[in-house]
Structure 1
């Protein structure tokens, strides 16, 4: 995939073809926290009617800030659902969109700690800009965007592949584990929203979830060292 290919795809996903799938898979492994790459890959898999779409959807949907926008994008690129795979997103989004919309506007955005300036603290725009910068740094020899030599698949924080390509287990994705994943990325607002939703869903565990929410609030304020 050339720089121009990637730029066109970011501007208009309709330019993607099955030819770009392998490059998008490699780029998403190299930049696992770049939401735009996950979106482009899922759109391309869907438009190509690739059999890997359901499995990749399970692994990557949690990385999207607004899954409902992906649903609209897929609908726009194909003119409507092509298979049962479309229903996987539909069921997940319609089940959890009300809870996701309850994020408090008063909650300040998490600020990356000075001790851990890792790529997990980068914004989506910064990550996308880094992709372009990496390409420019290679100069005229950078005909193609490719995986870095020191890149290891084991370093990528994608969930493991699941042999079961059945319906998306939305209730399993929207769990404390997902909340802790957000917390590890210092996205405390999202983590606390998930825990508050679970607290409402499982009132018998309200004490436990209240404690976890309190711990995250302390970490967000820098009262507890990571």
Structure 2
């Protein structure tokens, strides 16, 4: 891609199209930490409503020095603007009958699972939740060319100070559990905070992460906040419960 063409896309991201994807991908492969190129690639995937967008958003964030700039970009009107698609009916669609989709696939489509997540300027919490790693794996480290099994068999020799601390922990009386009837102020404040932060985007984030219980809870909170949409949220909850039972 020529320098002038690339600068024009940076100045007017709405001009970017599928035709630019291969060129921008090639730039990223050569310069993995080229932040503006990754941002433009995000725009292309967003326009396509590609299932790759959500994961690409995480990758782009990990290569971005200032995530607030990235957040401002993906919540801007320019980024959200999608060019009109030309309606084309292929010969295959005219001749071949449409394939019946399964019940689960229909539910996933209704829940918009796999569709690009769209954040607003007030949803930094939802954005940060999406960037969190779903799981953490411990790294098995070896030393002195020993295998992990050999390292496990070795029991470290405790010092006198460590032995004294161990005896103290064993002999010190344990603190009794608080009465269940007493509700702490901390839990109340946390619940209030969760109620304020609950949005439809956050519920979709939990769905993409397959945190179904959290998604259901988010929709329940939204149902109380927006009673005029309680019917829609109730349908979403039912669909999620079906996914839970068939996972």
Question: Normalised by the shorter chain, which TM-score bucket?
Answer: 0.3 to 0.5
TM-score (norm 1): 0.37
TM-score (norm 2): 0.34
Q: Greater relative contact order: 1 or 2 (C-alpha under 8 angstroms, separation 6 or more)?
A: 1
